[in-house]
Amino acid sequence: MLKGIIFDMDGTLGDTLQLCIEAYRRATQEVSGRTPTANEVVSYFGLSDRGVLGGLLNINPDAPELPIDTFVRVYCELHDELAPAAFPGAADMLWRLKERGLKLALLTGKEHYTAVPTVEKYGMSGVFDLQLYGDPYYNIKADNLKRAMEAWQLSPEEIIYVGDAPSDIRLCHSVGVSIINAAWGSNAAADEAACLALAPEYRLTDFTALEPLLTKLTS
């Protein structure tokens, strides 16, 4: 029986992909005068906030001159316009799962710079037992899945990940963790073939089907 549920953020709890892309584009333009394409921004996804921004500006992510404050400001300014709310009922679902005694974690490629403002805006502050963030140099989701299991002292069979990207499926399977492929966001159609080819244990196209499935898997 499942005892822990780990959630991605972008495209899973909120339709925040366009917010992320546009924030990187506008911040890069503000700093350098050059506006990257959406495809260029997406090519760095898998890295954290500083990793993507550093790649777009050709600046070491750990360099003090990296304008992370500018990026965070732009991200927060655009939030109400481009991603004002989580998927309907997402926060209430999380709180109900928590009240049942399930362990909940947020595992995202974001860093705290943008993850925390989004969690707060979506009414999810305090619901997660763990918040695990990305790395500016590598995609560390598989390592963070292991960290969650170690922290909770659970086996791979006792947790499940909910995430939208093909890379999420590969990383989960690399450590023996099942996944619910979140196919309800605006980018789901573009990723459909790649996700199906990786054979996720579950694939849902309707967010409202998530809580019933999780209830079944954790009962």
What pLDDT is recorded for position 156? 97
pLDDT in tens, 55-95: 999 999 999 999 999 999 999 999 999 999 999 999 999 99
Give the global pTM: 0.95
Contacts 24+ apart (CB under 8 A), 174-179: 174/142, 175/142, 175/145, 175/146, 177/145, 178/202
d(C-alpha 8, C-alpha 165), whole Å: 9
**Mean pLDDT across the chain:** 97
**Mean pLDDT across 99-115:** 97
Report the pLDDT value the prediction gives residue 59, as an integer from 0 to 100: 98
Q: Which residues contact 150 (CB under 8 A, 6 or more apart)?
A: none
Compute the distance between CA of residue 193 and CA of residue 215 in angstroms, rounded to an integer.
28
Q: What angle separates helix 49-57 from helix 112-121, to the nearest 10 degrees? A: 130
Q: How far is CA 46 from CA 150, 152, 193, in A?
A: 23, 25, 19
- The span from the CA of 138 to the CA of 124, in Å, is 27
In this prediction, residue 35 carries a pLDDT of 98
* Local confidence band at 25 (pLDDT 50, 70, 90 cut-offs): very high
C-alpha to C-alpha distance for 157 and 126, rounded to whole angstroms? 25
pLDDT recorded at residue 83: 98
Three-state DSSP state, 180: strand
| Burial label, 72 (beta-carbon count in 10 A; 0-12, 13-18, 19+) | buried
pLDDT at residue 1 tops 90: no
What tens digit of pLDDT does each residue of 141-200 get? 999 999 999 999 999 999 999 999 999 999 999 999 999 999 999 989 999 999 999 999
Architecture of the domain spanning 4-15+87-217: 3-Layer(aba) Sandwich (3.40)
CB distance 207 to 88 below 8 Å: yes
Q: Look at residue 187 in the predicted model and tell me its pLDDT.
A: 87
Q: Which of these, 107, 105, 106, 115, lies nearest to 49 by C-alpha position?
A: 115
The pLDDT value given to residue 150? 98
What residue ranges do the domains of the chain occupy?
4-15+87-217, 17-82
- The strand ranges marked E within the chain are 4-7, 103-107, 130-132, 159-163, 178-182, 202-204
pLDDT tens for residues 143-154?
999 999 999 999
Query: What average pLDDT does range 100-124 have in this prediction?
Result: 98
